[in-house]
């Protein structure tokens, strides 16, 4: 197989399908989503069988348990896919939404219409459910999709691809609206990210290495999600009950997620009673604290276990642990906290806990991250929690889509102009 | 001078200034804009003297008249700069605008806040007035700016830079909020477009060559403006008086602009009387027609002058003439016209002339360009005409900013969340 030619054909098909998809009405797109759900249910056995092939190959190749778990499709996984399709079909269609229409002094009427981006390329790793998630979000937003899953999930993805194609066909939409690449050759990825004539945007979903590699090589715009080094700042004017609940939730609700807190910034007046009480809860939950000099000095009064308490090193302020580890730093005031955030945040999510009106107002205005919160856990930074219905990723970029990316992030806005024979003087 | 180090310092200064600028209130930014205007007026003689140096160097280096004209600063040019600053100071501040706030079932309140992008790098060619335009748009939108003008305008730009710095200073803003690069070394451009840690977006303003080169090398997002191959489609259900006025205006109002029509698509039923009458007007205005086979056959009845009428070649459908030349093609119907546009448009601006409701509705929904119009001249595709107050360019990209880019295109939206001690279950 000549990969260049194969990918060019995929690209041309996608571009052609994208025009038909952009012209499809909401009813037709929803019909396709529900038809895909029906196909998934009808082909459950074939999907499970294909997944079994991937699982046994994965075991032979020594994939670790966490990876195997992500790779596994169970009956329940298929039910979740079906539910996801139903939910997305129930969301409002973002396409065609007209906003900001107004008359101009020249007499023309100008506004904006929301439209699909065109062709979205998605590159992801082992979870085969991403195949359905990504396909359905792109379909609903009127985009043709090219999907490149991980080689570990190859058979699973191909089985799911058949269901998608059958669903599209039965709704009268082109099967090429969703194309799952039929090769595991890496050259396919290189081709896909360098065909701006056929692909409008790339969404890489996976580890930092994948995303950095793709960003570096791409000649197409990339909606990228890098680290989540999230901060909570507890102010001296915080309600300390709320502060405690938020600090515990932001760190311990789930460890391996990008919106978990990685660094706690504490007003220095809280270094005794509050910090010590909080530390007890972290330790009960098995969280190791990496403390700045002053907080370490305070905490070593109550803890001498180096598994629980370590002095922080410089690297700790720039580390996304994704683990039961928390960096703790005392700051003199909110400005100090904001300086620390500006220097070390990855621009994902930060939260202030304070009852002080002026400080909250300033923190929200001036902290430059995709999500900035007051008196809420960073764990809320999520497409579902924000009401997007679903998300294709969380962008740490400032350009185009920022934070959780749902249907709207997969669209663009064009200008529309109504005249009545208007010409320019 | 070590260019790498110099540019890194510029970048660090810009990043630091961007934080102060993002925290500045609207009044302070407006004060700076008006103070810059005062400085320009006060330093008129120095600016004209600096420009005289550039002009005589330009003449020595054999710049052509058109380039020299663009390079020239006259008293009137300075008046226009002052007026532009006053207009931009009068526009609403885009920063801090909060939208879409709503309560979620969890109890948190979620919305979006418009914020500056951070640091905007602008690379432009010979016109020194861009220095003021770009600086003032970026300042108003809360962004720090790094400006790299053309080497022909070096002395003019440095003289203007002094006024900007003095104006910023007198308004209490950091002088590094606008930095005009003090070297003409091309390595400065290469450094600027590959420092994502210091620069958030690049706006190249200039010829296609410049923009393509920068897009190819950049490691930073680029808001780019490539060709304007704009189409007008005259439907068989058009009001022919309106159609004639629009077709003439879109081509002949100005030739060298990106929103001028380059290809006229005519319903084939219009190939006799309408086409011939229209052609007479074009010829009176000195426009050469490059006609498709059928329209050529029709027009050669009334014209045998090869300076006025030529058979179109394939390349004509993909050419931005920026000149009194127009490609003309007959199409069987609107779908044909839309196929031609999909294949040949640069995605800038297209217009349909038709009184048919369903066709207008379909054309507006399905044509995939930055501006799509009904019964209006393509010449309206412009930031001022759209009410943006000013524009920094016209984007032919779909990502981030599309079409005329004003203050809003220089901003991003972050999510803001208000809670009251909310944690995630």
CA dihedral sign of residues B128, B131, B134, B140: negative
β-strand A325-331 against A261-267: which pairing, if any? parallel
A77 touches chain B (CB under 8 A): no
User: Which residues of chain B lie closer than 8 angstroms to A362, CB-CB?
Assistant: 23
- What is the complex's ipTM, to 2 decimals? 0.93
Fold of B3-223+404-417: Aldehyde Dehydrogenase; Chain A, domain 1 (3.40.605)
User: What is the structure's pLDDT at A405?
Assistant: 93
User: What is the structure's pLDDT at B265?
Assistant: 98
User: What is the structure's pLDDT at B44?
Assistant: 97
Measured CA to CA, the distance from residue A82 to residue B118 in angstroms comes to 42
User: Which residues of chain B lie closer than 8 angstroms to A351, CB-CB?
Assistant: 417
Q: Which residues pair with B264 in a beta bridge?
A: B232, B328
B332-388 confidence digits (pLDDT tens): 999 999 999 999 999 999 999 999 999 999 999 999 999 999 999 999 999 999 999
Q: Map tokens 């086409």 to a residue.
A: B275
User: What is the structure's pLDDT at B25?
Assistant: 94
Q: Percent of chain A, pLDDT > 70? A: 100
Measured CA to CA, the distance from residue A29 to residue A35 in angstroms comes to 10
User: What is the structure's pLDDT at B291?
Assistant: 98
Q: How confident is residue B209, by pLDDT bands cut at 50, 70 and 90?
A: confident
* Res A101 pLDDT > 80: yes
Class of domain A230-385: alpha beta
Q: Are A291 and A314 in contact (CB under 8 A)?
A: no
Contact B404 A419 (CB under 8 A): no
For chain B, give the mean pLDDT. Answer: 95
Q: Where are the domains of chain B?
A: 3-223+404-417, 230-385
* Mean pLDDT (whole number) for A383-399: 88
Note which residues in 96-155 of chain A have CB less than 8 A from chain B.
96, 102, 104, 106, 108, 110, 113, 115, 117-118
Contact A370 B398 (CB under 8 A): no
* Res B396 pLDDT > 90: no
Q: A194 to chain B: nearest residue by CA?
A: B216
* Res B126 pLDDT > 80: no
Contact B417 A200 (CB under 8 A): no
* Res B159 pLDDT > 90: yes
Q: How confident is residue B207, by pLDDT bands cut at 50, 70 and 90?
A: confident
Chain A nearest-CA distance from B92, in A, is 16
User: Which residues of chain B lie closer than 8 angstroms to A342, CB-CB?
Assistant: 19
- Which stretch of A113-122, A389-398, B240-249, B252-261 has the lowest confidence by average pLDDT? A389-398
A369 touches chain B (CB under 8 A): yes
B6 touches chain A (CB under 8 A): no
Contact B397 A221 (CB under 8 A): yes
* Res A126 pLDDT > 80: no
Q: Are A227 and A208 in contact (CB under 8 A)?
A: yes
Residue from the list A399, A413, A421 with its beta carbon closest to the beta carbon of B242: A421
User: What is the structure's pLDDT at B71?
Assistant: 94
User: What is the structure's pLDDT at A224?
Assistant: 85
- Which stretch of A90-94, B395-399, B420-424 has the lowest confidence by average pLDDT? B395-399
Measured CA to CA, the distance from residue A391 to residue A137 in angstroms comes to 8
* SS3 annotation, chain B: CCHHHHHHHHHHHHHHHHHHHHHCCHHHHHHHHHHHHHHHHHCHHHHHHHHHHHHHHHHHCCCCHHHHHHHCCCHHHHHHHHHHHHHHHHCCCCCCCEEEEEECCCCCEEEEEEEECCEEEEEECCCCHHHHHHHHHHHHCCCEEEEECCHHHHHHHHHHHHHHHHHHHHCCCCHHHEEECCCCCCHHHHHHCCCCCCCCEEEEECCHHHHHHHHHHCCCEECCCCCCCEEEEECCCCCHHHHHHHHHHHHHCCCCCCCCEEEEEEEHHHCCHHHHHHHHHHHHCCCEEEECHHHHHHHCCCCCCCCCEEECCHHHHHCCCCCCEEEEEEECCHHHHHHHHHHHCCCCEEEEECCCHHHHHHHHHHCCCCEEEEEECHHHCCCCCCCCCCCCEEECCCCCCCEEECCHHHEEEEEEEEEEEECCC
User: What is the structure's pLDDT at A160?
Assistant: 97
Residue from the list A239, A371, A421 with its beta carbon closest to the beta carbon of B417: A371
* Res A103 pLDDT > 80: yes
Chain B nearest-CA distance from A333, in A, is 17
Beta-carbon contacts of residue B398 (< 8 Å; ≥ 6 apart) = A117, A118, A200, A201, A412, B347
Q: How confident is residue B173, by pLDDT bands cut at 50, 70 and 90?
A: very high
Q: Percent of chain B, pLDDT > 90? A: 89
Residue from the list B23, B242, B421 with its beta carbon closest to the beta carbon of A246: B421
Note which residues in 245-264 of chain B have CB less than 8 A from chain A.
245-246, 248-250, 253
A288 touches chain B (CB under 8 A): no
Contact B377 A422 (CB under 8 A): yes
User: What is the structure's pLDDT at A350?
Assistant: 98
Domains A3-223+404-417 and A230-385 share a fold: no
**Number of inter-chain CB pairs under 8 A, A vs B:** 219
Chain B nearest-CA distance from A23, in A, is 6
Q: How confident is residue A216, by pLDDT bands cut at 50, 70 and 90?
A: confident
Measured CA to CA, the distance from residue A165 to residue A83 in angstroms comes to 19
User: Which residues of chain B lie closer than 8 angstroms to A350, CB-CB?
Assistant: none
A11-27 confidence digits (pLDDT tens): 999 999 999 999 999 99
A153-169 confidence digits (pLDDT tens): 999 999 999 999 999 99
């Amino acid at each position: 197989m000549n990969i260049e030619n194969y990918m060019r054909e995929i690209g041309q098909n996608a571009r052609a399908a994208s025009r038909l998809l952009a012209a499809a009405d909401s009813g037709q797109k929803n019909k396709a989503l529900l038809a895909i759900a029906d196909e998934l249910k009808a082909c459950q056995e074939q999907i499970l069988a294909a997944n079994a092939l991937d699982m046994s190959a994965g075991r032979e190749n020594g994939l670790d348990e966490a990876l195997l778990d992500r790779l596994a499709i169970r009956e329940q996984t298929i039910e979740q896919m079906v539910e996801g399709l139903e939910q997305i079909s129930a969301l409002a269609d973002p396409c065609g939404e007209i906003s900001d229409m107004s008359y101009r002094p020249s007499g023309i009427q100008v506004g904006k219409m929301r439209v699909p981006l065109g062709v979205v390329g998605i590159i992801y790793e082992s979870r085969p459910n991403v195949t359905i998630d990504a396909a359905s979000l792109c379909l609903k937003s009127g985009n043709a999709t090219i999907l490149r899953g991980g080689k570990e999930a190859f058979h699973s993805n191909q089985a799911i691809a058949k269901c998608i194609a059958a669903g599209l066909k039965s709704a009268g939409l082109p099967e090429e609206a969703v194309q799952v690449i039929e090769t595991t050759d890496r050259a396919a990825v290189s081709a896909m990210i360098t065909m701006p004539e056929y692909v409008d945007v790339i969404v890489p979903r996976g580890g930092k290495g994948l995303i950095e590699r793709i960003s570096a090589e791409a000649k197409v715009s990339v909606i990228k999600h890098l680290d989540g080094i999230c901060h909570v700042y507890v102010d001296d004017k915080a309600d300390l009950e709320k502060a405690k609940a938020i600090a515990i939730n932001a760190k311990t609700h789930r460890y391996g997620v990008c919106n978990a807190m990685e660094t706690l910034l504490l007003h220095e007046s809280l270094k005794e009673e509050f910090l010590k009480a909080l530390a007890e809860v972290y330790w009960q939950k098995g969280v190791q604290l990496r403390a700045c000099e002053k907080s370490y000095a305070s905490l070593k009064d109550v803890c001498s276990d180096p598994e629980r308490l370590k002095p922080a090193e410089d690297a700790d302020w720039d580390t996304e642990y994704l683990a039961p580890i928390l960096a703790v730093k005392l700051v003199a005031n909110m400005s100090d906290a904001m300086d620390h955030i500006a220097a070390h945040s990855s621009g994902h999510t930060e939260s202030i806990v304070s009852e002080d009106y002026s400080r909250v107002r300033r923190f929200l205005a001036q902290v430059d991250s995709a999500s900035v919160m007051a008196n809420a856990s960073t764990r809320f930074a999520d497409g579902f929690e924000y009401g997007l219905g679903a998300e294709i990723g969380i962008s740490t970029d400032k350009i185009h889509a920022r934070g959780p990316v749902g249907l709207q992030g997969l669209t663009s806005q064009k200008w529309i102009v109504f005249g009545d024979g208007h010409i320019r003087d």
